[in-house]
Amino acid sequence: MQTTEELKKLLYKNETVADTAPDALSAAQEFCEGYKAFLDHGKTEREVTAYSEKLLLNAGYKPFVAGEKLSAGDKVYTINREKCVLAATIGTKSLEEGFHLNIAHIDSPRLDLRPVPVFEKNGLGYLRTHYYGGVRKYQWPTIPLALHGVVFRADGSKVEICIGEKDDDPVFCITDLLPHLGAKQNAKPLSEGISAEDLNVLIASQPIADKDAEQRVKLSVLGMLNEAYGITERDFTRAEIEVVPAHKARDIGLDRAMIGAYGHDDRVDAYPALMAEIGVQNPAYTTVCVLTDKEETGSDGVTGLQSMYTFHFLQQLCAAQGADYIKACKAGKCLSADVTAAFDPTFADAFEPDNGTYAGCGVAIYKYTGARGKSGTSDASAEMVSYLTNLMDKNQVVWQIGEMGKLDLGGGGTVAKFVANQDIDTIDIGVPVLSMHSPFEVVSKADVYMAYLTFKAFCEDAE
Ligand code: MN
Ligand code: MN
């Protein structure tokens, strides 16, 4: 007869990092200082790319030159159109024996300026926006906002704009109705309380002096922008300006065990993946880290994972050592990182507790994502789950496994399928997030660190 104690050992149970790996907590605190700096320096995919490039150059990475011979231990990187990072460390094994690929995305939900954004109404100046990614629109009014981006002038010169980050910078905002007059708005469904056309950013309120002129506030706005940046209204047509929350990453809680910030999705996986890539020395398998763009809108376009840019890079790495690309893909493995929903007790209704993933219980594994009967997922094989969980156990990584929430409530996809479609074994992992896609998302530092340990173990795996 088995005792109850023996039987209990048969259970699968989520356990906190605090209970199972208490020694990792101080390391997690330290690791997350670097992560918070990464967040504060990168609120757009372009900024994250520029900051990552600096980290790579500081670590001795050399710009990748197609056709140039590479030797084991070499570290190279390349940038795709200022919005994606590709970094690799050449392994001692031939690429035909496979590569270890870590992918995360660095675009985040936000509001983009429209091609003709500036307008004036009843004496107030605004910028019109078009939301990017899955945004709950009611979350964006009445918070301080910053403008980040690039504009090309008529002569082709580029100007970078960043307003709202320095302590003495002005910030911007979207207004909302006062409760005293809110009866009609309150009666609407939550999804309609603030519409896409309501997401107008307040940018100025003082007219130019000429009382006879029309659109005096708009003229004032264009005048100030012209003075500061040498741009005209026409130049907004060739701009990419993103409206993002102006706040910095902050510790959450008396215990400082969590981080609240804009853009955890998916910089919270991008930073650990990049740090693991930077840290690996002389790996057995060639390691490749890709920080990609456009995940939030379906991965289309030249900087999305549905484009060939990542696979072209892999082809070029193969060519550099005369390795067969098809063999390399077949033997290759990929951790497709993206955030997952953390179980939220306030909204427990949305989750199935046994298959939920919890903040503070380690990095989450998702065998599959998708919606409506696993549509749109690559569904990693049991063999791949077995490989990864064994690797994590060997390396004392605290992990949990689950699904996004209750079935048929919604769902979501990741880039995993675009990699798997190239004949590369791929599995989803990621850090659980509270308030995902909101202007202030929350993660557990312990989980961020466990994500790092996962990427590190995968980079260093020699078997
Ligand atoms: Mn994501
Ligand atoms: Mn997302």
pLDDT in tens, 413-434: 899 999 999 999 999 999 999 9
What is the CA(341)–ligand 2 centre distance, in A? 10
Compute, in angstroms, the gap from residue 107 CA to the centroid of ligand 1.
8
pLDDT digits (tens, 9 = 90+) for 1-18: 899 999 999 999 899 999
- C-alpha closest to that of 414 among 377, 446, 381, 363: 377
User: What confidence tier does 240 reach under pLDDT thresholds 50, 70, 90?
Assistant: very high
Ligand nearest to the CA of 135: 2
Q: Mean pLDDT across the stretch 97-102?
A: 98
Buried-state track 22-41, b at ≥16 Cβ within 10 A, e below 16? eebeeebeebbeebbebbbe
Q: How many A from CA of 437 to the centre of ligand 2?
A: 6
Interval between CA 191 and ligand 2 midpoint (Å): 18
CA of 335 to the centre of ligand 1 (A): 14
Indicate the SS3 state at residue 103.
Answer: strand
For ligand 1, the distance from its centroid to the CA atom of residue 305, given in whole angstroms, is: 13
User: Can you give the pLDDT at residue 408?
Assistant: 86
Q: Kindly give the distance from the C-alpha atom of residue 268 to the centroid of ligand 2, in angstroms, as a whole number.
A: 11
Q: How far apart are CA 147 and CA 142, in angstroms?
A: 15
Rounded (10°) CA dihedral 153, 233, 173, 200: -130
User: How would you classify the pairing of strands 258-261 and 250-252?
Assistant: antiparallel
Q: How far is CA 333 from CA 7, 119, 283, in A?
A: 35, 50, 14
The Cα–Cα gap between 291 and 273 comes to: 9
Answer whether 280's CB lies under 8 Å from 79's CB: no
Helix, strand and coil content of the chain, in percent to the nearest 5, comes to 35, 25, 40
Question: What pLDDT sits at residue 370?
Answer: 86
Confidence class for position 377, pLDDT limits 50, 70, 90: confident
pLDDT of residue 227: 98
Q: What are phi and psi of 317, to 5 degrees?
A: -65, -40
Q: Give residue 291 CA to ligand 1 midpoint distance, Å.
A: 12
* Among the bound ligands, the one closest to the CA of 305: 1
How far, in Å, is the centroid of ligand 1 from the Cα of 340?
8
| Ligand 1 centroid, distance to 254 Cα (angstroms) | 28
- Residue appearing with tokens 């340990």: 453
User: Looking at residue 410, what is its pLDDT?
Assistant: 83
Q: Quickly count: other Cβ atoms within 10 Å of residue 422's Cβ.
A: 18
Note the residue count of the chain: 463
Q: Which residues of 326-335 are buried (b: 16+ CB within 10 A; e: fewer)?
A: eebbebbbbb
Q: CB atoms < 10 A from the CB of 134, how many?
A: 13
81 Cα–ligand 2 center, Å = 21
* Residue 187 alpha carbon to ligand 1 centre in Å: 32
Indicate the range of 26-40, 364-378, 449-463 predicted with least confidence: 364-378
- Residue 67 belongs to what H/E stretch? none
Is residue 82 pLDDT above 90, yes or no?
yes
Ligand 1 centre to CA of 404 (Å) is 12
Note whether 2 and 10 are within 8 A (CB). no
Q: How many CA atoms lie within 13 A of 19 on its CB side?
A: 7
Evaluate the omega torsion of the peptide bond into residue 266 and state whether it is cis, within 30 degrees of 0: yes
Quick one: average pLDDT of 296-305? 97
Q: How far is the CA of 193 from the centre of ligand 1 (A)?
A: 25
Hey, is 131 helix, strand or coil? strand
For residue 307, the CA-to-ligand 1 centroid distance in Å is: 17
Ligand nearest to the CA of 338: 1
Ligand 1 center from residue 207 Cα (angstroms): 42
Which ligand ends up closest to the CA of 438? 2
DSSP-assigned letter for residue 295:
G
At 449 the pLDDT is 98
Q: At residue 411, does pLDDT exceed 90?
A: no
Judged against a pLDDT cut of 90, whether residue 373 lies above it is answered with no
Could you tell me if 214 and 119 are in contact, meaning their C-beta atoms sit under 8 angstroms apart?
no
Query: For residue 439, which of 32, 37, 165, 43 has the smallest C-alpha distance?
Result: 43
- Assign 205 a pLDDT band (cuts: 50, 70, 90): very high
Measured in Å, residue 414 CA sits from the centre of ligand 1 at 7
Question: Per-residue pLDDT averaged across 96-119, rounded?
Answer: 98
Q: What is the pLDDT of residue 376?
A: 86
Of the candidates 225, 227, 224, 244, the residue with the CA atom closest to the CA atom of residue 113: 244
The Å distance, Cα 268 to ligand 1 centre, comes to 10
Distance from Cα 182 to the centre of ligand 2, integer Å: 31
C-alpha of residue 59 to centroid of ligand 1, in Å: 27
What tokens appear for 4 in the block?
């109850």
- C-alpha of residue 263 to centroid of ligand 2, in Å: 9
pLDDT at 167: 96
DSSP per-residue codes, 16-61: -HHHH-TTHHHHHHHHHHHHHHHHHH-SSHHHHHHHHHHHHHHTT-
| Average pLDDT of span 32-45 | 98
Residues having C-beta closer than 5 Å to ion ligand 1: 265-266, 338
Number of CB atoms found within 10 A of residue 93's CB: 17
What pTM, to 2 d.p., does this model score? Answer: 0.97
**Pair of tokens at residue 12:** 């699968």
pLDDT at 55 over 90: yes
Q: What's the alpha-carbon Rg for the chain, to the nearest Å?
A: 24
Q: Which-ligand-closest: CA of 109?
A: 2
- The residues with which 261 forms a beta bridge, in sequence order, are 441
Coil/strand/helix, residue 183 = helix
Number of CB atoms found within 10 A of residue 6's CB: 9
CA 93 to centroid of ligand 2, rounded, Å: 35
Can you give the pLDDT at residue 371? 87
End-to-end CA distance of the chain: 39
Ligand number with the minimum distance to the CA of 436: 2
